[in-house]
Structures are given as C-alpha cells and as structure tokens.
Structure 1
Amino acid sequence: MRAKGHKNMEPLGKKGKRHEVSEEPPVHHHGKDYVDPPPAPLLDMGELKLWSFYRALIAEFIATLLFLYVTVATVIGHKKLNGADQCDGVGILGIAWAFGGMIFILVYCTAGISGGHINPAVTFGLFLARKVSLIRAVLYMVAQCLGAICGVGLVKAFMKSYYNGLGGGANSVAPGYNKGTAVGAEIIGTFVLVYTVFSATDPKRSARDSHVPVLAPLPIGFAVFMVHLATIPITGTGINPARSFGAAVIYNNGKVWDDHWIFWVGPFVGALAAAAYHQYILRAAAIKALGSFRSNPTN
C-alpha cells in the first residue's frame, strides 16, 4: 500500500537518472448536478413593474380562452351529432383527446412565457410550493377565469342555436352520483394533474433522467386526457376551476350554480394534496429543513 500522494520512482534510465511520477489523489465531486430555484417571495411588488409579468398575464388569458373555445365547442358539437345519430360524434374518447391535446399544445406554447398554468388549481399548487408569488398567483387566476368566460362566450356566439339546448359544456353532478362522490372524483383527478406538473418540471428529475428526453407538456396533456376518461361520466370533468367557472357564467343555469362549489373545492384540495406529497414526501422538504438526516442522493 502506498500513502496518498507518494511518489513512484521509475527504474534508472540510460544516464542513471530517475524520472519522478507523482500519483495525484483522486478527485471526488460531491456537488448536486441540478439547481433548485430559490423560493418565490410571498409578496413581490416588484413584479408589477415588469412588462414580462403583464405579458405572462396576457398569455394565460389567451391560452385559457383558446382552451375553452376548442374544448367546449367539441362537447357541443359531439352532443349535436350524437343527438341525431348515436353512432356519430367524437364520443367521450374524442372529448378527452380535445382537452388533453389542447393542454399539450398550450402548455408547449406558453411555458416559456407564463409557465403554462392555464388552470387556477395548478397555479394554487405551485404557489403552495413557493414556485410563484401570491400576487402572481392571484392575478393568474383572474386572467384564467376571464379567458375562460371569453372562450365559452365565443362558443355560444358561434353555436347559439345549439349551445343552451345541449348543456353549454357546463360541469355538474351527473344523475346517479352524489355530491360527495363528485368532490372525491375532482380531488383525485386534480391530484393526478398537479402531481404530473410537479414531476414533469422537477429540476432534480430532469438532471437525473437527462438521458431520457421527455417534453414536459406531453405527460401533462396525457394526465388531463386520462382523468377525463375516468370522470366525464361523473362530473363532466372539471379539475380546472376556470373551465368550470367560465362555462357556468355563460350557461347560467341553477343546477350548475348549485353544484359549482364542487369544482373549486375539489381541485384546490387535490392541488394541496399533490403539492404536499411531492414537496414533503418525494422531495423530503420537511426532513431537509429539520436536518434530521440526509436523504439518499440516488433517490
């Protein structure tokens, strides 16, 4: 055994001189190969002075408008065709594809500008994880709700003869299900969506799995698609309070308003659960904060 840094002596050369070869100690790199962004401040008044902040609000407004226009128009179109011929129309599968596909497209387009939330529940979850400030979260939600109202308003303007008679694409509890079941469905559905958002945008996961190229909007869009397949028969699938609010405002039906609280409480509780699960269980934020023990770096 040689001590670290010991110099090996080569055999004598032709001129009787030895050549010294130093053994360098091995270099170990212990630094993280990813960087977690610092927590967003609770109140960041400086954002109100930035054009990039207002540009993000515009992006969220337009994205939610387009999302509601395409998806609600798909729902109304399906009901129109299916009413004439039960074998016609895109069916539940087509409606789920419309919602999931539009989320994929719009998150891809707006992620670099606003983060591509397009959903108050997603914004709420990211706020709880300190990814956005309170001011940004509140104004994002306002922009999303206004965009949703305008998007559904366009559907009613273009499909006026069918809109009111075919339910307006509004969310309510389907016959045969109670409100408790509906709340549970919305909580679980939103949990799946927000958990996917956290996982797809996690810097640690991106660094660890850099050899697996995954476009973040793709799993998010698929999460929306899968949740719609499961919950369309129960609630019409909310998981997005802006989507439910925009449709309720334009359709303006008593039954829809009676059930409307479900589509805020369920998604917000689901977002809370997903944020807590990802941050405090998977990322062990509480343990790291207490410093009780180091998490396994290979996790």
Structure 2
Amino acid sequence: MAKDAEVAETYSSKDYQDPPPAPLFDSDELTKWSFYRALIAEFIATLLFLYITVLTVIGYNSQTDTKKTGTDACGGVGILGIAWAFGGMIFILVYCTAGISGGHINPAVTFGLFLARKVSLVRAVMYMLAQCLGAICGCGLVKAFQKSYYNNYGGGANRLAAGYNKGTGLGAEIIGTFVLVYTVFSATDPKRNARDSHVPVLAPLPIGFAVFMVHLATIPITGTGINPARSFGAAVIYNKDKAWDDQWIFWVGPFIGAAIAAFYHQYILRAGAAKALGSFRSTA
C-alpha cells in the first residue's frame, strides 16, 4: 500500500495543468519589454531563416543551370539539400528562440496558436508583422549580396509548378501546413511536457523534421510555402509577375491548414469539445 501511495504521489507530482487561455485583447503586453524582445527575436529569426534558405535555393539553381558551361544538371545540393536547409534552420531557430518568443517564425504557426488561445490577438498580429518584415529583410540581404544570381535564378520565390492546377497547389499547402502545425501542438503539449521531462528539450527536433519532410513532398509542386512570411518576403524582393500570380495560395493554404491542425489537436485529440459539453472526460 505504501508503494502504491508513493507511485500515486509521484504520478500526481508529474501531472499537468493546462495554462489558462490567453486573453483575446491584452493591451498590457504593449507596456512590457519582454513583448518587444519577443518581436525582435521573431524578426531576426525569420530574417536568418530566409537568408540561409533562399541562398541555398539560388545556389542550387545556379549549380544546375544547364545553360552555363561546365555545370552539372545533377549537381548542387538537390531537393534533399534544400529540404535539409529549411528543416535544419527551423530546428536551430526554434531551439534558439523558443524561450523568448515561442519560436513561431511563421504566421501560420502563430495563427494556429492564436485559434487555440495560446497567444493574444495583439501578440499574434504583431508577430505576423515582425515575421513578414524579417522575411523581406532576409531576402533583401540575399539580393544585396548576390543581385545577379538573385534575379537570374528566381529569387527563391514560391510559384505553382507547370503541370499542376491551383487546386493541387492549394491542397499541398493545406496538408503541408497541417503536418507542421500539428507537430508544433504535439511537441509543445503541456500534458507531454509534464509527464515526459525530455520533451521540451527535443521539441525543436520534430518541428524541424516536419518542415524537412513536407519540403521533400511539396517542393516539386509549389516550391513549398507552408509559411506565408517566407512566400511574401521572397515575392516582395523578387517582384515579378509569376511570384505574385499564385501568392494567395501561400496565404490561404497555410492558414486553412493551421486552423484544421488547431481544431484537430485541441478538440479531437485533447477532447476539448467533449470537455466543454461535459459529456465525458478523456482518459488518454
């Protein structure tokens, strides 16, 4: 009996409490340095993300340009390398900024967390602005350092590939963003954080791998957006018609995917709807 009591006490001490929902409007945030520090972290992280990943894309396009003499059509880092660049940078940047801003680095992630009441409306809107500005500045740095390569090799801008219709592109963005945002919710679930102490340390790893896997699947279709700031920043600096023609896909798709992921995790897996109705209590 004593042993059972000890086990029960141990389990109880490791049990979890869901944090209270973030207020919809929280003007007090605007008076705190921690809020502006988080905005700076999101801005710099998104800038670095776009700088490294767009350079990788442009470098690959340059190395495989069959119109240039001495180039190898099968050279460069390949799609696998591009996917690693995106996934690896997300892993690094989420690890670095998670304790400051939550490590969103993506308006779709911020939108999903807002729908789940993890962040306030004020924070969500300001995060998205910081992310978009960071993406523009990151692409701007790439163009400033390598203008000819940037203009000649597409500027890393997302576009719907030839042979695919807009519905296919939209579906790819919805499902890809769902995978990412669902992973974010799962990796940061307070229940798992409380019962598996190693989860918070490892959280950036599955998030980065989710980005990596989605890129492998959707680079041939849309170039992989799943991040409206990434697509918007590249389009603003590259500023060619094709980059803007399908821009709506890279906003509507990720936001729909993020909304579905938020609903699925909060109301299906975490039985939020059932708890609200009081019909039964999840024992998962």
TM-score, normalized by the shorter chain, greater than 0.5: yes
Please report how far the alpha carbon of residue 208 of structure 1 lies from its aligned counterpart in structure 2 after TM superposition: 3.1
Q: Using the alignment, how far apart are the partners of 1:127 and 1:213 within structure 2?
A: 20
Q: Using the alignment, how far apart are the partners of 2:137 and 2:36 within structure 1?
A: 19
- The equivalent residue for 1:85 is 72
Please report how far the alpha carbon of residue 203 of structure 1 lies from its aligned counterpart in structure 2 after TM superposition: 1.1
Q: Using the alignment, how far apart are the partners of 1:120 and 1:272 within structure 2?
A: 12
The letter of the residue matching 1:166 is Y
Report Cα offsets for 1:172-225 as digits up to 9, x if no partner.
100000000000000000000000000000011223334778610000000000
Cα pair 2:29 2:35 within 8 Å, conserved: yes
Please report how far the alpha carbon of residue 85 of structure 1 lies from its aligned counterpart in structure 2 after TM superposition: 1.5
Is 1:106 aligned with 2:93?
yes
Is 1:257 aligned with 2:244?
yes
1:39 to 21, 39, 49: 21
Change (3 A) 1:255 1:111: same
Q: Using the alignment, how far apart are the partners of 2:20 and 2:200 within structure 1?
A: 25
1:165 to 152, 156, 173: 152
2:225 to 238, 245, 248: 238
Moved more, 214-223 or 62-71: 214-223
Cα pair 2:187 2:199 within 8 Å, conserved: no
- The equivalent residue for 2:68 is none
Report Cα offsets for 1:236-283 as digits up to 9, x if no partner.
000000000000000101121110000000000000000000000000
Moved more, 222-231 or 152-161: 152-161
Larger radius of gyration: 1
The letter of the residue matching 1:73 is L
The letter of the residue matching 2:84 is W
- The structure where helix makes up a greater share of residues is 2
Q: Using the alignment, how far apart are the partners of 1:120 and 1:278 within structure 2?
A: 18
Structure-to-structure mapping, 1:213-228, within 5 angstroms? 215-228=202-215
Is 1:140 aligned with 2:122?
no
Is 1:125 aligned with 2:112?
yes
Change (3 A) 1:97 1:211: closer
- Percent identity, aligned pairs only, is 82
Q: TM-score normalised to the size of structure 2? A: 0.93
Q: TM-score normalised to the size of structure 1? A: 0.88
Is 1:190 aligned with 2:177?
yes
The letter of the residue matching 1:56 is A
Q: Using the alignment, how far apart are the partners of 1:106 and 1:295 within structure 2?
A: 34
Cα pair 2:192 2:199 within 8 Å, conserved: no
Is 1:175 aligned with 2:162?
yes
Q: Which runs of 5+ in 2 are unaligned?
A: 66-70
1:74 to 53, 56, 62: 56
1:53 to 17, 35, 49: 35
Q: Using the alignment, how far apart are the partners of 2:31 and 2:148 within structure 1?
A: 45
Change (3 A) 1:245 1:212: closer
Cα pair 2:178 2:258 within 8 Å, conserved: yes
SS for the counterpart of 1:249 is: helix
The letter of the residue matching 2:59 is G
SS for the counterpart of 2:205 is: helix
Q: Using the alignment, how far apart are the partners of 1:253 and 1:207 within structure 2?
A: 49
Q: Using the alignment, how far apart are the partners of 1:273 and 1:122 within structure 2?
A: 12
SS for the counterpart of 2:36 is: helix
Q: Using the alignment, how far apart are the partners of 1:213 and 1:120 within structure 2?
A: 22
- The equivalent residue for 1:62 is 44
Structure-to-structure mapping, 1:198-213, within 5 angstroms? 198-210=185-197
Name the Cα RMSD after superposition: 1.7
Q: Using the alignment, how far apart are the partners of 2:134 and 2:75 within structure 1?
A: 30
Number of equivalent positions? 274
Q: Using the alignment, how far apart are the partners of 1:66 and 1:76 within structure 2?
A: 15
Is 1:94 aligned with 2:78?
no
The letter of the residue matching 1:112 is G
Report Cα offsets for 1:137-159 as digits up to 9, x if no partner.
00000000000000000011111
